[in-house]
Every structure is written in structure tokens, then in C-alpha cells.
Structure 1
Amino acid sequence: MEFIRITNINDELFPKMHNLMKEVFPPEEVLEFSLWKEPLEDPGIRVFVAVHEGEVVGATEYRYYPDWNIAMTDFTIIGKPGLSLGRFLAQNRQKDLDALATANGKELFGMFAEIYNPYLGDNHDFGGVQAMNPFVRREVLSHLGYKKLDFPYVHPSWLNDGEAVEGLDLCFMPSDDSLTEIPASLIVDFLTTYYAVLPEKPAKWLQMVENLKKEISVSLRPL
């Protein structure tokens, strides 16, 4: 199995990855094909695929923010069972992030992720890929060390239609597992930067950010 970075929309592996995304994620979670050109060419956005026997069987996108020494996992896709894809992607992603933090003269502080809360809804199909079932993924991410940030979370739809997407938790995996809270200002800085690409922000999201600005810290809760 190979861990290969995609940096160009014309890479022959990219359509395979994009099709895999459309198979497992709801439409509002998938950026339109042509809009991937700039993200793929952005050196701060790291898109890797797991290639097995010439086919894209998994993928992960993440990014590292050197100013805050944190990362964000955009998505992880397990497209085929029985290949230990979750471990393969997680280990290779961690090695890459550790190297980026080391080059920045630091040890990674932690990593954000938006994690589906299947207890809030009933859409658990995700293309029929059992490894992508939100109940399964939530437990796997808990095992990795992710914790729920204790505030009601929504995010702007990637369709850029101004709609608020609910049913997710914003979570954080601290490198120091004993950490019980993180600064609210870090969350605000991260979210406003991360979603700057979407000009149509829903009112619920804007209010959520304003509420966070009034807080000093946000607690990390068990996932």
C-alpha cells in the first residue's frame, strides 16, 4: 500500500478520490470538483490517498497551522475493509504532522476534527461502507484520543449556500492527554481562518463564534 500526496487537480488519482468522497459523504460535505484546484495547490493543505493495487481505497486531508502549532483533520475515508486502512492513514498522517511540527521547532499541540454525532440524527448510510458508519468512526476517533469541545456546534455548508450543517461535534485531540480545556480564542481563530474560504456564513455559525469570543476556555469532554 502506498501513501501518495495529490497536489494537482489533473493528477489521475484525484478523480478516483473525488468519486470515493461522493460515495461516502452527503452532498453538502463534498466540495465541487473544479473548486479543488486551489486547495490541492496550497502547500498548507495536505491531501493523501491510500493506493492499493492501482486503486484509491482510502484518503485523508489535513492541514498544519504553524502559528498555532495545531492541525485539522478535514476527512478520513476508509473505502475498503480488511486492509487496516484506518491505522495506515492515521499513522502516516501523524508521522507527517510530527515532522512539520518538528521543522517548526515544536511538538504538535493537538488536532481538531469535526466528528459526526449519530445520536443526533438517523442518516447513517454513508454509501453503505460499514467502516464509515458514524457510530464506528466516533468510537475509533475516541480511541485515537479525540475529545468533544463542550459547546453546541454547527458549520457552514460546503455548498456555500449559507445553510448551517448540524449533527456534528467539533473535537480536539491534544498531544497531552491530561489536558482538560483549550483557549476559546484558539477555537475562534481556527474556525474563522478555516472557513474564510466560504463567504456565505449562516447566522447560527456567526452567533456561535460570537458566543465563543465571550469565553476564556472550552472544556474537553469524553467523546
Structure 2
Amino acid sequence: MQYVRIRSIEDKLFAAMHRLMGVVFPPEEVLAFELWKEPIEDPAIHVYVAIHEGEVVGATEYRYDPKLRVAMTDFTIIGRPDLGIGRFLYANREKDLSRLQKESGTIAIGMFAEIYDPRKDEAALPGAGNVNPMHPAVRREVLSHLGYRRLDIDYVHPSWDHEGKAVQGLDFCFRPADDEIVSIPAALVTTFLRQYYSALPNKPQEWFDMMANIELRTDIALLPI
């Protein structure tokens, strides 16, 4: 299996990845093909695909902010079972994140990730019936095994279709580098989320309300998932 970075929507591998996104994620979570042009050319955004026998069978996108010393897994896609794609993507992503930390002279304090909670909003779940490893219940357990915990907030984020809808039914999670950490600063959460969603000009009132509530707090507890 090959781990290949995509840097342009003109790359034929991008079209294959975008189709795969449409299979496993709901429409509001998938940025339109043409709107990927600038993000994928951003050197700070790392988009890689897993290629098996010439086919894109998985993908991951992530970033690392050396100023905040936090990373974010934007998404991980496993397109086929029984190929070890999840482990392959994880191992290569961790290796690359170690490189980014070394190059920036920093050490990460942890990594954010969003994850669906199938108990919250079944109607909002991706079409995961097509790819069993992508079912939210499976992915939650994988994140738990990796050390992620959910932030003690009522999470909502703006839809990636640029319509400004509130996407609910998810948890915002964090994997601390030190497993003994039981909370993180609220200011870290708001600073990161403002930067992360700066790419979406249309945001729902629910998102602003959530941010205002977080700002009233000093720390955010990390809870089991």
C-alpha cells in the first residue's frame, strides 16, 4: 500500500478521494469539489490517500499548529475492510506529525478530532452501511482505543456545504499527549475552533452560542467516549 499526498484538485487521485467522501459522509460534511482548490494547495493542510493496487481505498486529512502545539485529524476514511487501511493511515500520519513537530521545534500537547455519536442523531449519520468500518459506533471505539476523550460541551459546527447550517450529533474530542490530563483550557478550544472554521464564512447562530458558552469557562473536562 502507498501513502501519497494530494496537492491539487487536478490530481486524478483527488477525484477518487472526493467520490469516496461522498460515500461515507453526509452531503453537509463534504466540501464541494471546486471549493477544495485553495485548501488542498495550503502547505499546512495535509491530505493523503492510501493506494492499493492502483485504487484509492482510504484517505486522511490533518494539520498541526505549532503555535498552539495541537494537531487535528480532519477526517479518516476507510474505503474497504480487511486491508489494514486504518492502521496504515494512522501509522503514516503519526510519523508525519512527528516530522512536523521536529521541524517546528515543538512538542504537541494533543490532537483534536470530531466524531459522530449514533445515539444523538441517527438521521445525520453518514451512509456507513456501504462501508462497515466507517460506522460511527466503530469509529468511536477506535478513537477511544487511541486515547481520545470527548470535551464536555454541547458541540455544533458549521456545515461544509457553505449553507451555514448547524451540524449536530457530533462530539469534539481531544487526545492528550499526557494521558493523565483530565481537562484542557477553554481558551485553547475557542482559539482553535475559530481558526479551523475561519474557512467557512457562513456560520449558524448555534455555533456562536456554543463559542460564547465555552468562553465563560476556564477549563473543559475530558470525558470518556
User: Which band: TM-score by shorter chain?
Assistant: over 0.9
Gaps of 5+ in 2: none
Q: State the shift of 1:216 in Å.
A: 0.8
Provide the rounded CA distance (Å) in 2 between the counterparts of 1:128 and 1:9: 25
Provide the rounded CA distance (Å) in 1 between the counterparts of 2:106 and 2:21: 33
Q: State the shift of 1:189 in Å.
A: 0.4
2:49 matched residue in structure 1: 49
Between the aligned residues of both structures, percent identity stands at 57
Query: Of 128, 136, 139, which aligns to 1:137?
Result: 139
Residues 82-121 of structure 1: matches in 2 within 5 Å? 82-121=82-121
Provide the rounded CA distance (Å) in 1 between the counterparts of 2:176 and 2:205: 30
Provide the rounded CA distance (Å) in 1 between the counterparts of 2:97 and 2:50: 17
Aligned alpha-carbon RMSD (Å): 0.9
Give the alignment's TM-score, normalised by structure 1.
Answer: 0.98
Partner of 1:36, secondary structure, is helix
2:98 maps to amino acid: D
Question: How many correspondences in the alignment?
Answer: 223
1:147 matched residue in structure 2: 149
1:190 maps to amino acid: F
Residue 61 in structure 1 maps to residue 61 in structure 2? yes
Provide the rounded CA distance (Å) in 2 between the counterparts of 1:163 and 1:107: 35
1:214 matched residue in structure 2: 216
Q: State the shift of 1:103 in Å.
A: 1.5
Q: State the shift of 1:76 in Å.
A: 0.2
2:61 maps to amino acid: E
2:162 maps to amino acid: N
2:199 matched residue in structure 1: 197
- Deviations along 1:1-49, whole A, 9 cap, x unmatched? 0000000111110100000000111000000000011011000000000
1:41 maps to amino acid: E
1:161 matched residue in structure 2: 163
- Deviations along 1:94-152, whole A, 9 cap, x unmatched? 11111111212222211100110111122454252100000001001100111000010
Give the alignment's TM-score, normalised by structure 2.
Answer: 0.97
2:78 maps to amino acid: I
Contact 2:69 2:108 in 1 (8 A): yes
Partner of 1:196, secondary structure, is helix
Provide the rounded CA distance (Å) in 2 between the counterparts of 1:138 and 1:128: 18
1:198 maps to amino acid: L
Provide the rounded CA distance (Å) in 1 between the counterparts of 2:91 and 2:117: 24
Which 4+ stretches in 1 moved above 4 angstroms?
Answer: none
Deviates more, 1:94-103 or 1:39-48: 94-103
Provide the rounded CA distance (Å) in 2 between the counterparts of 1:211 and 1:121: 22
Provide the rounded CA distance (Å) in 2 between the counterparts of 1:128 and 1:12: 23
Contact 2:66 2:106 in 1 (8 A): no
Contact 1:25 1:127 in 2 (8 A): no
Deviates more, 1:122-131 or 1:213-222: 122-131
Contact 1:112 1:173 in 2 (8 A): yes
Query: Of 187, 190, 193, which aligns to 2:189?
Result: 187
2:178 matched residue in structure 1: 176
